[in-house]
Structure 1
């Protein structure tokens, strides 16, 4: 799939901006703070319903603007064309698909975007929530029942937590229905996650061999959020008293995590900050390759500030990895990456939130 045209209004420093994008490499250059990253952020918002920038929710809307809007025409590899729209006024998001109001989940299903950006190292060095988000986005795009199942799980989790905090005596008649729902939905989510990670591992190994061959063989560990040798339903009953004292449910798929280890770096602490970034990039590229295989078309690949995040050798390796793909790629930087010299690109100069002619 590709974004044919991207139109932004009121997003950060961007007042009104339209880009007609190339199906291949698109490079946005400009000074720091010019709005380059906001263009990539807009594509990511259409695909995830959230920004990749930490703490971004309260500052997404341009100062003085009533709201923001993002529109794009999406062309799928089978020739299907859809018009996507995402807008926000205050705290309320509104999604449109071909002019009709839809749930954000329906919008996200039509638009797949992966992104590597300066904060991506949190996928490796940050908390488990970031890794669950990465995992669940991938599962969402291949398992159509994932979202309704996840919503059932969250509803049951909220109800169980409310009962735990009520201060009343634990009543099996009240807790049992919600625990049964948690266990049923949780088992499905766990199975889908395991299956997805099993499929992702060969792509992780291929990208690791390209970007970090010195670290040796890659292993992946998944922790479901409760003891591997027990059933979630049994664990929930056994932990009622402990969970009541803590005021929340301490076991379940909402506590899951996964991690990568290498033959010559078996623990995350063995990685340098630069290697953490490269491992995060390996994950992003592997997810893009798997998504392309599973769905039959490539997601849009965004690489924010590529030249400042990677040295020349690793930039060249990334370009080499993507040149063999039929992916639309958006790259930002203060200058065009030198490794793109032999690649056909469409260049945009972003200046103070506007497109300016290239000199």
Structure 2
């Protein structure tokens, strides 16, 4: 899979940008704040309908602009070309594929992007929400009915939480059907997540061995979000008095988490910040490889500020793997990273939101 053309309107400092991309390595160089990361962000938005940067959605819109839009031509491994569009002028995203309005899920299924950036260590050291997003993005691209099950679960969760907040009027008869629905949907999500992690584990072992061999064998651990001792519906019923006091549901698939433990670093706190970043990178590369195994093509790989995040040896190892996989790479830096000096790349200079092709 590769982006052949990318048009960006009204995204942060990129008010009007058109880029023809190389199927291999594309490098965006320039000073900090020039807009390099926003190019990668545009590609990521097409794949996730959210940014990898923190902050409010309103911050995505360029100052003085009323609408944000991203257009891309995506060529798949079978030579099929899909024209994708994503826009927002109010609170909601609007998606198009080949000129027709489509659901966000259909857009995301057509464009797969993984991104390693300065905040990626949060995948290892941050809140469980980041790890669930990573996991569910992978499951979405492997299990075709995942999205419908996830939406079913979110609807039941929303309804139960509404009942919890209306505790003075909610009765047992109102809770039971939603708790039953929540439990059934959670079981499906749990099965799909476990199955995905089983597929991911060998890829992750191989990826980590190449980047962090000094830490020894790894153990991939998963917590479903409720006890294995009894069914979720019963646990929700028993937990209801405490949930009423808190005003939200404290058990279920929305509380799931996973973690990695190494023989040489059994606790997350044993990892240095650099090791957290390399572990996160190993996770992203393993996920990309698993995607390729199931879909017959690698996702697009974005590497933001690679030279400042990895030393030269690890830069070279990552670039070599991506070249071997023939993945399209979008990479940023203040200068061309040392690992790319002898390679054929397409280079763009970015300055004040404007792009100029150098090579």
Q: TM-score, normalised by structure 2?
A: 0.98
Match of 1:10 in 2: 10
Question: 1:15 & 1:119 partners in 2: Cα distance?
Answer: 25
- The within-5 A match list for 1:63-142 is 63-142=63-142
Question: 2:70 & 2:275 partners in 1: Cα distance?
Answer: 34
Match of 1:271 in 2: 271
Question: What does the per-residue CA deviation read over 1:270-307, in whole Å, with 9 as the maximum and x for residues that have no partner?
Answer: 00111111111111111101110111111000000000
Report SS of the residue matched to 1:14.
coil
Match of 1:336 in 2: 336
Question: 1:238 & 1:172 partners in 2: Cα distance?
Answer: 12
Question: 2:239 & 2:174 partners in 1: Cα distance?
Answer: 15
Question: What does the per-residue CA deviation read over 1:171-229, in whole Å, with 9 as the maximum and x for residues that have no partner?
Answer: 33211110111011110000000011111111111111111100000110000000122
CA displacement at 1:170 relative to structure 2 = 5.5
- The within-5 A match list for 1:166-245 is 166-168=166-168, 171-245=171-245
CA displacement at 1:93 relative to structure 2 = 1.4
Equivalences, count = 359
Match of 2:253 in 1: 253
Question: What does the per-residue CA deviation read over 1:78-132, in whole Å, with 9 as the maximum and x for residues that have no partner?
Answer: 1211110001113221111111111111110111000000011111111000100
* Distance verdict in 2 for CA 1:319–1:46, change over 3 Å: same
Q: Which moved more, 1:132-141 or 1:349-358?
A: 349-358
- The within-5 A match list for 1:273-288 is 273-288=273-288
Question: 1:40 & 1:125 partners in 2: Cα distance?
Answer: 23
Task: In structure 1, list runs of 5 or more residues that go unmatched.
Answer: none
Question: 1:224 & 1:181 partners in 2: Cα distance?
Answer: 17
**Does the CA-based 8 Å contact 2:347-2:357 persist in structure 1?**
no
The 4+ residue runs of structure 1 with deviation greater than 3 A are none
**Does the CA-based 8 Å contact 2:29-2:36 persist in structure 1?**
yes
Question: 2:26 & 2:358 partners in 1: Cα distance?
Answer: 14
Report SS of the residue matched to 2:248.
coil
Report SS of the residue matched to 1:120.
coil
Report SS of the residue matched to 1:342.
coil
Question: 2:357 & 2:162 partners in 1: Cα distance?
Answer: 57
Report SS of the residue matched to 2:53.
coil
**Does the CA-based 8 Å contact 2:315-2:339 persist in structure 1?**
yes
Match of 2:289 in 1: 289
CA displacement at 1:263 relative to structure 2 = 0.5
Question: What does the per-residue CA deviation read over 1:41-86, in whole Å, with 9 as the maximum and x for residues that have no partner?
Answer: 0000000000000014121111011111100001111121111000
* Distance verdict in 2 for CA 1:357–1:322, change over 3 Å: closer
Question: 1:98 & 1:323 partners in 2: Cα distance?
Answer: 30
Report SS of the residue matched to 1:19.
strand
Question: 2:254 & 2:48 partners in 1: Cα distance?
Answer: 19
Match of 2:348 in 1: 348
CA displacement at 1:165 relative to structure 2 = 1.5
Q: TM-score, normalised by structure 1?
A: 0.98
Report SS of the residue matched to 1:147.
helix
Question: 2:66 & 2:94 partners in 1: Cα distance?
Answer: 14
Report SS of the residue matched to 1:196.
helix
Q: Which moved more, 1:305-314 or 1:52-61?
A: 52-61
